[in-house]
A and B are shown apart, each in its own frame.
Chain A
Amino acid sequence: MVMMMAPGGTLEMAKMVLDEGADAVYVGVVGWSRRGAQDELNDDEIRHTIDYALRLGKEVRVVVNTLPSSSELPMFIDCVARYAQWGARGFMISDIGAMHLVRQMLPEVHIHTSVGCGITNYEDVKFMRDIGATYVVLPYRLSVEEIRKIKQESGVGIEVFLFKTPSGGKICPGKCMMSSYFSFRRWLDANGKDHFFGSASRGGDCLRVCQTKWDFKVDDTGYQQPMTIKTNPSLWLGELPAYMAAGVDCLKVPGRDRSATLVRDIVRVYRRALDRIQECDHPDLEPFASELEILRARWGSERSKRDNRLISQAEKESRGALVATL
């Protein structure tokens, strides 16, 4: 049976998605996930979420998918051990060294590879399985047939986003450092935890510099209208029965940095769609498609606001002196 996993960017959102029918909720830890602190939970909130989920017979995945500093790893391990003791059933991790440590220390927990692992092919999936991953998240752009083959050959849990990029383009996340090239700050807090501004890989927000308008030039001659660098992914539905038949084990609803009500409504649609697919051989998904269309528009509107906020932050941060002396 496929597991639908939904985001808990706030405690309120975590409870809402569980109430709406998500089988599991994933929550980021402040400073340890690929989002800003406003979309992450502190320890009290994480414990509260775990207790709430367990009461409903559901699960919590904790997102600790930054690419940490070497010196942070002992703190990382303490964190993971604490949440596992509280009842978290799994963790999303990017750094393969950290993944290896968790597998050695906690053989019973699920390890999900993060999108930050930047997987591109079936051998990547086997590599992650070999070092201890139990679920591997696949890139947006694989075909159903490729997914089926990967599932058959690897035997590992397959996770896909309910989110797709319409065409090719830059590989994000996992292989992109454009944001931090322009705006990046690093500081240590009182506990010795490293914090980074401007790098999703390192635990701050990606500042979405790819979504501002760029001039594209040959030498010094512009020949295109100002453009963004990456296309944005969008929610999908039509191929859901085929994905499930291909052996997908886990469907991930995106949106930790969206409003709780939008994410709740998305979960509501997908829950009903998944139930319909599981109830009959030839499900009619058309009623859900029209609902999803409205949600896509809300999603796009919230994304634009977020992007504008983050790009403004990037511009503000990059205004500092570019040249200094040590």
Chain B
Amino acid sequence: MFELSTDVCNIKTLKNEDLSAYDAIYLGDFSCPEYPNNFSSNPKQLKKGLDLVKSHDQKAYLRLYAVPSNHDMPWVEELIDTAMDLPFDAFEVHNLGLLRVLQEKKCTIPIHLGVFGNLYTHETAKVLKQYGVTRVYPNPELSLKEITYIADNTPIEVLLPVHGKIPLVISETCFIMEHTENTKLCGNNKCNFPCLEDHWLKRGRKDGSSNDWSLKDTGRMTLSGKDLCLIEHADQLSSAGFTAFYVQNKGEAEGYASKVGHIYRTALERAFAGDSGIDCAPWLAELDALSHEGLCNGYYFEGAGQRYFGRA
């Protein structure tokens, strides 16, 4: 009927979190190779993570580092070589150079294009299909109408983010480390993971008005302050023909993916069953309480990403 997926960075989170609401898990943090035991940069962690996901009868997708520089390519290729020998259901690629690497390696594992792959048009989706891409994550700036056009005019599946913070910008270096005192470094000058604490960029009147701007920073990636939320529009998504939905979990506290996942699992099941009279208010209140800065709809309804459009 549909697939609901989320992301998990490492084996610790994978073990601790209740992910039973999800059909598939994106393994790894594509933004920071230094993140502790990150699946995206630790070949030795892959089999453990894969086995655990498969033991729950879920699909396992491996996320590859999104912005590899020249000096990163050897270790990323090493990770790919290890992963190609394992039964992953797909690799998620953000970097077109890595897409080319996978083609050179004659990779037969399906490929998903990630959020920083800059997918704006159906013609780009067609080009990517020639490289083995079977699913695309449209750029967050696209409206639902534009995404629907791509889905209707390409033989590629579209992954639709339905909840969580929106990835807005990525870095090759860590913003938190650049602006944190040296006490946050270990003695050997290695990262002591200050990103495990919540970091926020804020400006404005601090009165909760539209003049207040907020962003969440996870070090190498900046996310929207507000949480994207489409719970009120689940029936519209099912009737538009989307079948792959995603909850963004990077940077969230333990328990977030579980609570959000169960809400969307129920809402989407009812929407796909044709139940159009769903009262979303209790869910909306719960999701709002889980957010730090409130809810938004991203760009789906053609306004600024931080706006929220409810159902009349």
Q: Which residues of A contact B (CB under 8 A)?
A: 67-71, 73, 94-98, 100-101, 116-128, 130-131, 141-142, 146, 149, 167-172, 174-178, 180-186, 198-199, 201-202, 209, 212-220, 224, 226-227, 229, 315, 317-326
Q: With a CB–CB cut-off of 8 A, which chain A residues contact B72? A: 121
Q: A residues within 8 A CB of B247? A: none
Do the beta carbons of B306 and A70 come within 8 Å of each other?
Answer: no
> Contact at A97–B127, with CB atoms within 8 Å?
yes
Report the Cα distance A184→B150, complex, angstroms: 21
Is the CB of B257 closer than 8 A to any CB of chain A? no
User: What residues of chain A lie closer than 8 Å to B51, measured between beta carbons?
Assistant: none
Contact between chains at B211 and A315 (CB < 8 Å): yes
Determine, out of B8-16, B33-41, B62-70, B185-193, the stretch whose residues face the partner at the interface: B62-70
* A178 pairs with B210, CB closer than 8 A: no
Q: Let me know if B306 and A322 touch, CB within 8 A.
A: yes
- The docked-state distance in angstroms from the alpha carbon of A251 to that of B133 is 34
Interface contact A67-B120, CB-CB below 8 Å: yes
CB <8 Å contact, A73 and B224: no
Check if A118 sits within 8 Å of B213, measured CB to CB. Answer: no
Q: Hey, which chain A residues are within 8 Å of B178, CB to CB?
A: 167-169
Known: A126-B97, A130-B100, A181-B224. Contact between A215 and B202, CB under 8 A?
A: yes
**Which residue numbers of B lie inside 8 Å of A, CB to CB?**
67-70, 72-73, 95-101, 116, 118, 120-128, 139-141, 143, 146, 149-150, 153, 166, 168-173, 175, 178-179, 194, 197-203, 210-211, 213, 215, 217, 222, 224, 296, 299, 301-312
A69 to B125, CA, bound (A): 13
A120–B171 CB distance below 8 A:
no
B224 contact set on A, CB distance < 8 A: 181
Give, as a whole number of angstroms, the nearest-CB distance from B97 to chain A.
3
**Contacting pair A127 B309 (CB below 8 A):** no
Q: Give the chain A neighbours of B172 by CB distance below 8 A.
A: 120, 141, 168, 171
Docked pose: A199 CA to B146 CA in angstroms: 16
How far is the CB of B261 from the nearest CB of chain A, in Å? 25
**A318 contacts B197, C-beta separation under 8 Å:** no
List 10 A-B pairs, minimum CB-CB distance, nearest first. Answer: A97-B123, A123-B97, A168-B173, A97-B124, A181-B305, A124-B97, A67-B120, A184-B304, A176-B169, A325-B312
A272 CB to nearest chain B CB (Å) = 33
Least CB distance from B201 to A in Å reads: 4
10 more A-B residue pairs beyond the given contacts A174-B118, A175-B116, with a C-beta to C-beta distance below 8 A: A70-B149, A100-B126, A120-B69, A121-B95, A171-B170, A218-B197, A315-B211, A318-B211, A318-B306, A325-B311
In the complex, chain B residues whose CB is within 8 Å of the CB of A131: 127
By the criterion CB–CB under 8 Å, are B201 and A97 in contact? no
Instruction: List, in ascending order, chain A residues with CB within 8 A of B210's CB.
Output: 318-322
Nearest CB of B to A174, in Å:
7
Which of B121, B173, B213, B307 interacts with A70 by CB under 8 Å? Answer: B121
Contact B120 A227 (CB under 8 A): no
Which of B120, B124, B202, B309 is close to A326, meaning CB atoms less than 8 Å apart? Answer: B309
- 26 contacting pairs across A/B (C-beta < 8 A): A67-B139, A70-B146, A73-B121, A95-B124, A98-B124, A100-B126, A117-B118, A121-B73, A125-B97, A127-B100, A168-B171, A170-B169, A170-B170, A181-B168, A182-B306, A201-B120, A213-B203, A214-B203, A216-B201, A219-B197, A227-B179, A229-B175, A229-B201, A315-B211, A323-B309, A324-B307
